[in-house]
Amino acid sequence: MIPRMGSSIFLFCRIAGTCYPLLNCLCCFWFFVCLRLCL
């Protein structure tokens, strides 16, 4: 049940998170799909 936009956001969070962990956590806060990447 993940929309295409959600998957692209997930990808963005993952790529951005490698360089900016804080940005990744911000994404996780709004999009619970990548919540695991924060923990």
- Residue showing tokens 């911000």: 26
What pLDDT score was predicted for residue 1?
A: 44
pLDDT at 29 exceeding the cut of 60: no
What pLDDT score was predicted for residue 11?
A: 74
Between the alpha carbon of residue 34 and those of residues 11, 19, 20, 30, the distances in Å are 9, 16, 15, 9
